[in-house]
Amino acid sequence: MTMTDQQTQAEQSVQYPENTAGSPYVDGGVKVAARNSNVYYAQKHAIKDVSLDIAPNEVTAFIGPSGCGKSTFLRCLNRMNDTIDICRVTGDIRLDGEDIYDRKVDVVQLRARVGMVFQKPNPFPKSIFENVAYGPRIHGLVSHKDELEEVVTTSLERAGLLNEVQDRLESPGTGLSGGQQQRLCIARAIAVSPEVILMDEPCSALDPIATAKIEELIDELRQNYTIVIVTHSMQQAARVSQRTAFFHLGNLVEMGDTETIFTNPEHKLTQGYITGRFG
């Protein structure tokens, strides 16, 4: 049986609730609101009518088995799917109440407001300094050299990397260790003062020590930013996030505060996944 047959069978055998279980919406402020989001890759329906809220200054974790659509949905939030030809996104996604898919929206500006950190650290083939300086410079956020140096230093500091690199800012970013490169990418993301940071499995290539550093950092960053993190590690989701969304075959099955999702989930599929019975 192929992967696709298995998925189709699973799709047929599972009864999805008409509405997401738990509490996908928040009462207070909402930073990002998605309503009836659908994503198609040509004929493949990868995200199915997903509606949820992301609260400000919180970490929201996306969990679920491989291929369930976590990265796809994450990429909807800063229109990274626009870069994939066969990909079509429908529905409504708002950042502070503004429709990010509106034709008037400049995607370059949008991605400065909603930054992204990828699974594999991807520093530019430039110096450590230039990796961080690039964004503020192209977005015209700084007017002179001192200001740029200040932004670079502050961003590296906030990313918990400054101490390790301050005597070699002119060395190539690619010469750092994996965990340092990932913190460099986080420094690069925060240098343009984003409001939201999307992280797609940011620790999957890191050892436990580097992972612990990034997790600590994520916890600090939420004071100033809204963070959405995709992770395969349930321990990580439990440690760093305040709310958790569980996806399964493109459906948002359940969402709620992290503690409830991990200790007292409503839906059978969520129970199965968090207890390791599948996925």
Ligand X SMILES: Nc1ncnc2c1ncn2[C@@H]1O[C@H](COP(=O)(O)OP(=O)(O)OP(=O)(O)O)[C@@H](O)[C@H]1O
Contact mark string toward ligand X, 33..72, x via CB under 6 A: --------x--x-x-----------------x-xxxxxxx
For position 277 contacting ligand X by CB under 6 A, the verdict is no
CB of 116 to Mg ion, least distance (A): 13
CB of 46 to ligand X, least distance (A): 4
In this complex, which beta carbon is closest to ligand X, that of residue 14 or of residue 138?
Answer: 14
Out of Mg ion, ligand X, none, what residue 32 binds, judged by CB under 5 to 8 A for its kind, is none
Contact mark string toward Mg ion, 51..90, x via CB under 5 A: --------------------x-------------------
Binding residues with ligand X: total (CB under 6 A): 12
For the CA atoms of 217, 218, 219, 221, the dihedral, rounded to the nearest 10 degrees, stands at 80
User: What is the 8-class DSSP label of residue 83?
Assistant: G
CB of 68 to Mg ion, least distance (A): 9
Q: Sign (positive/negative) of CA torsion 192, 200, 29, 242?
A: negative
Strand boundaries in 108-250, DSSP class E? 114-117, 196-200, 226-230, 243-248
SS3 4: helix
- In this chain, which residue has its C-beta nearest to Mg ion? 71
CB of 67 to ligand X, least distance (A): 4
CB of 241 to ligand X, least distance (A): 16
Closest CA to 214 of 126, 227, 31: 227
What residues does 149 pair with on adjacent strands? none
For position 89 contacting ligand X by CB under 6 A, the verdict is no
CB of 17 to ligand X, least distance (A): 20
CB of 84 to ligand X, least distance (A): 5
The contacts of residue 245 (CB under 8 Å, 6+ apart) are 24, 52, 60, 61, 62, 63, 252, 254, 255
In this complex, which beta carbon is closest to ligand X, that of residue 22 or of residue 64?
Answer: 64
In this complex, which beta carbon is closest to ligand X, that of residue 161 or of residue 185?
Answer: 185
Q: How far apart are CA 174 and CA 67, in angstroms?
A: 30
The contacts of residue 106 (CB under 8 Å, 6+ apart) are none
In this complex, which beta carbon is closest to ligand X, that of residue 131 or of residue 231?
Answer: 231
Helix axes 178-190, 128-138, angle to 10 degrees: 20
For position 2 contacting ligand X by CB under 6 A, the verdict is no
Q: Which two tokens stand for residue 115?
A: 């930054």
Out of ligand X, Mg ion, none, what residue 66 binds, judged by CB under 5 to 8 A for its kind, is ligand X
Binding residues with Mg ion: total (CB under 5 A): 1
Alpha-carbon distances, residue 73 vs 40, 202, 229, 251 (angstroms): 11, 16, 11, 10
Give the footprint of ligand X on this chain (CB under 6 A).
41, 44, 46, 64, 66-72, 84
**Contact set with Mg ion (CB under 5 A):** 71
